[in-house]
């Protein structure tokens, strides 16, 4: 099996750095294997050394190349150590099949089974190794970050791990103030949802939508999308850059 390593371009450095060199945080929505979009996103992010990257989970399954995406994320962390990888429901499912050395079976989903068949059950060790590194949530001075959000109406700390990864009904509609905004992916929206108390940046990258990143604290959005030649869905793709605000 040929495995292609994906090399990400070096981070773009900002020419006119803001007067304060305070680190900002880029939260990146569900990638779902869309490694080309990931690469394009990093062509437009004005990432600086002091900034933190928070990947909001569901990095694999469904899209173009799940394993390539994991390699790309691993390489990115080599270049930029301040990378946080959150655990989404898709990572959670794959981890249940990981025994610390290999995957024993595939999760029960169409895209996971397709991946399993593609590698004839021999999914590279690097994937399990990376999965082990994922964490349920993250907090910094700007926000709480969890793949699918938090339990509405209760302090953040009372949200269970399962709820953070799999979501709770009514979360997106909630006006509850957790003290800091909750930043999440998971919900497959057409446009990013940006409210005072919560932000969702899963914008269906793997289903013809956008891969979205939001920067905190200024809430600037960075988005890339495939543009398809209608007859060759995955061949003639270009990222279309759309910056909002």
- Residue 80 or 87: the one with the smaller Cβ distance to Mn ion is 87
Write the interaction track for Mn ion spanning residues 181-200; mark x where CB under 5 A is met and - where it is not.
-----x--------------
Is 58 one of the binding residues for Mn ion (CB under 5 A)?
A: yes
- Residue 127 or 184: the one with the smaller Cβ distance to Mn ion is 184
Cα 10 from Cα 210, distance rounded (Å): 22
CB 160 within 8 A of CB 92: no
- Residue 51 or 137: the one with the smaller Cβ distance to Mn ion is 137
Give the max Cα distance, the chain. 53
- Residue 31 or 224: the one with the smaller Cβ distance to Mn ion is 31
Cα 243 from Cα 14, distance rounded (Å): 16
Cα 52 from Cα 42, distance rounded (Å): 13
End-to-end CA distance of the chain: 44
Q: Which two tokens stand for residue 155?
A: 């302090």
> Cis link prior to 214 (omega < 30° from 0)?
no
Listed in sequence order, the residues at least 6 apart from 157 whose beta carbon sits closer than 8 Å to its beta carbon are none
**Residue 162 neighbours by CB distance under 10 Å:** 13
Q: Considering the complex, what minimum distance in angstroms separates the CB of residue 90 from Mn ion? A: 6
Which of 68, 88, 152, 181 touches Mn ion (CB under 5 A)?
A: 88
Cα 3 from Cα 190, distance rounded (Å): 32
- Residue 34 or 58: the one with the smaller Cβ distance to Mn ion is 58
Is 89 one of the binding residues for Mn ion (CB under 5 A)?
A: yes
Is 52 one of the binding residues for Mn ion (CB under 5 A)?
A: no
Which one of 56-64, 79-87, 92-100, 107-115 is the stretch in contact with Mn ion (CB under 5 A)? 56-64
Q: What is the DSSP letter of 167?
A: -
Q: Considering the complex, what minimum distance in angstroms separates the CB of residue 136 from Mn ion? A: 13
Is 39 one of the binding residues for Mn ion (CB under 5 A)?
A: no
- Residue count, binding to Mn ion (CB under 5 A): 4
Which one of 65-73, 86-94, 117-125, 169-177 is the stretch in contact with Mn ion (CB under 5 A)? 86-94
- Residue 161 or 177: the one with the smaller Cβ distance to Mn ion is 161
Binding site for Mn ion (CB under 5 A): 58, 88-89, 186
């Amino acid at each position: 099996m040929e495995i292609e390593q994906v090399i990400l371009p070096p981070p773009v450095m900002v020419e006119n750095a803001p007067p304060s060199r305070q680190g900002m945080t880029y939260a990146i929505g569900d990638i779902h294997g869309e490694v080309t979009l990931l690469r394009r996103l990093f062509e437009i992010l004005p990432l600086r050394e002091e900034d933190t990257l928070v990947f909001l989970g569901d990095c694999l399954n469904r899209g173009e190349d799940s394993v390539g995406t994991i390699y790309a994320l691993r390489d990115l962390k080599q270049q930029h150590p301040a990378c946080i990888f959150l655990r989404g429901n898709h990572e959670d499912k794959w981890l249940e099949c990981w025994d610390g050395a290999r995957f024993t079976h595939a999760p029960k989903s169409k895209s996971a089974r397709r991946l399993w068949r593609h590698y004839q059950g021999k999914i590279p060790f690097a994937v399990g190794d990376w999965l082990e590194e994922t964490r349920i949530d993250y907090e910094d001075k700007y926000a709480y970050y969890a793949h699918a959000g938090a339990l509405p109406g209760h302090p953040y700390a009372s949200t269970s791990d399962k709820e953070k990864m799999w979501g709770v009904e009514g979360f997106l509609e909630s006006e509850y103030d957790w003290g800091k905004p909750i930043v999440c992916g998971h919900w497959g929206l057409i446009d990013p949802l940006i409210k005072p108390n919560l932000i969702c940046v899963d914008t269906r990258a793997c289903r013809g939508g956008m891969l979205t990143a939001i920067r905190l604290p200024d809430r600037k959005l960075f988005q890339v999308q495939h543009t398809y030649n209608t007859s060759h869905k995955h061949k003639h793709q270009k990222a279309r850059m759309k910056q909002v605000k």
